[in-house]
Structure 1
Amino acid sequence: MIQYTDKTELVEAIKKNYLLYDKEFNDISEDKKDLLKPGVDKSPSQNISYQLGWTSLLLQWESDEKKGITVQTPAQGYKWNNLGGLYESFYHKYETYSLDQQREMLKNQVNKIIEWIETLDHDTLFIPEQRKWATTPAKWPVWKWIHINTAAPFKNFAAQLRKWKKQTGTE
């Protein structure tokens, strides 16, 4: 997995990968947003709904901990070893929005995450066990949680969207 030396590198990776990811939606028409294709796990709407769900959870975990609320990860009623239902809840929550609306919501979420990162000091971001919600047996630091819910899937899911577009002839 990639390593970052400071928050500037993390923020730049998020920005770069997000912009490339978002660009993939430019030529997807609204009437095809729910189209599933063989060999591609998600429709375009499901793809961005997944991102909206995880970025929202990331921000919620931090917000709840700051308020003194005990955070249950990944989410209330869901366990790490059975995430299918959580993904379905993301798809259901955002399915009525247009792709443009979903893109705008994700842009806002990414901006909030970047603003949040900017408020964190180096130790909070890079030393494990600085947040209760981020403390797991693996002892991941906060930056890693942010990375796996932003920069990494933005890059991976952009490739999925390109594959989807190739199959639909929209590439």
Structure 2
Amino acid sequence: MAQTLSREELANELDSAYSKLDVLLDGVGEADLYDAIAVDGWTVHDVLAVRVWWAEAVSEWIAAGLRDENPQTPAAGYKWTQTPALNQSVVEASAGTSVRELRDRLEAAVKLLRRYVETLDDDQLLSVGVFSWTRTWPVSRWIAVNTITQYASLSKMVRRLLKSANQL
């Protein structure tokens, strides 16, 4: 996802990626595979928790930017070079969180990000440097890499698991 998407492309791809993932996650539930290892020792539940966290984080960063605040990215106590440790902390913190809660939070985060795609003006959504936290990327790209790209990778993991469990 190197190029910057237009507002319409971003909205369409976000809707599509989320819808496909949502359907696949229904299949994971039906096959009782949320505790199956998806990648690098992480379960589907773990990967979902990380995907939720990033969608919520981008939503919070956008909200902070709209309030003329500069949020600490990626998170308090973490540098960008420490995202593997951050992701692991998300996995550990979400261990007791139900799949239903994670899916509800994901849906809410996607709806909020979708609302930002619709309501931010063109400059806020598509220009570089509008918010200090965006650095060299427009907000649209931050949304895309933390949703569309991430949902596609989780969908691929889930399809592989469902196929190996003969559920696809």
CA shift in 2, pair 1:157/1:71, >3 Å:
same
**1:9 maps to which residue?**
9
Aligned to 2:47: 47
The answer to whether the aligner puts 1:152 opposite 2:149 as a matched pair is yes
- Say what the alpha-carbon RMSD is for the aligned residues: 2.0
Alignment match, 2:37: 36
The runs of 5 or more residues in structure 1 that have no matched partner are none
The structure with higher relative contact order (CA 8 Å, sep 6+) is: 2
| Distance in 2, Cα, partners of 1:114 & 1:131 | 18
Structure 2 residue 78 is the aligned partner of structure 1 residue 78: yes
TM-score (norm 2): 0.87
Alpha-carbon shift at residue 102 of structure 1 (Å): 1.5
Distance in 2 separating the partners of 1:119 and 1:93: 32
C-alpha offsets along residues 11-44 of structure 1, whole Å, 9 cap, x if unaligned? 110000111011111122385422325xx33311
Question: Percent of aligned positions with the same letter in both sequences?
Answer: 26
CA distance in 1, matches of 2:90, 2:10: 25
Deviation readout 1:48-106 (Å, 9 max, x if unpaired):
11111101110111222333433111111111112122112222333323222211211
Distance in 1, matches of 2:26 and 2:134, equals 34
Judge conservation of contact 1:134–1:140 (CA < 8 Å) in 2.
Answer: yes
- Output the amino acid matched with 1:77: G
Give structure 2 stretches of 5+ with no counterpart. Answer: none
Q: Which amino acid aligns with 1:21?
A: L
Q: CA offset at residue 169 of structure 1?
A: 4.1
Using structure 1 for the length normalisation, give the TM-score.
0.86
| d(CA) in 2 for partners of 1:101, 1:24 | 17
Task: Look up the SS of the partner of 2:114 in the other structure.
Answer: helix
Find the aligned partners of 1:131 and 1:125 in 2 and give their Cα distance: 10
Q: 71-80 or 81-90: which moved more?
A: 81-90
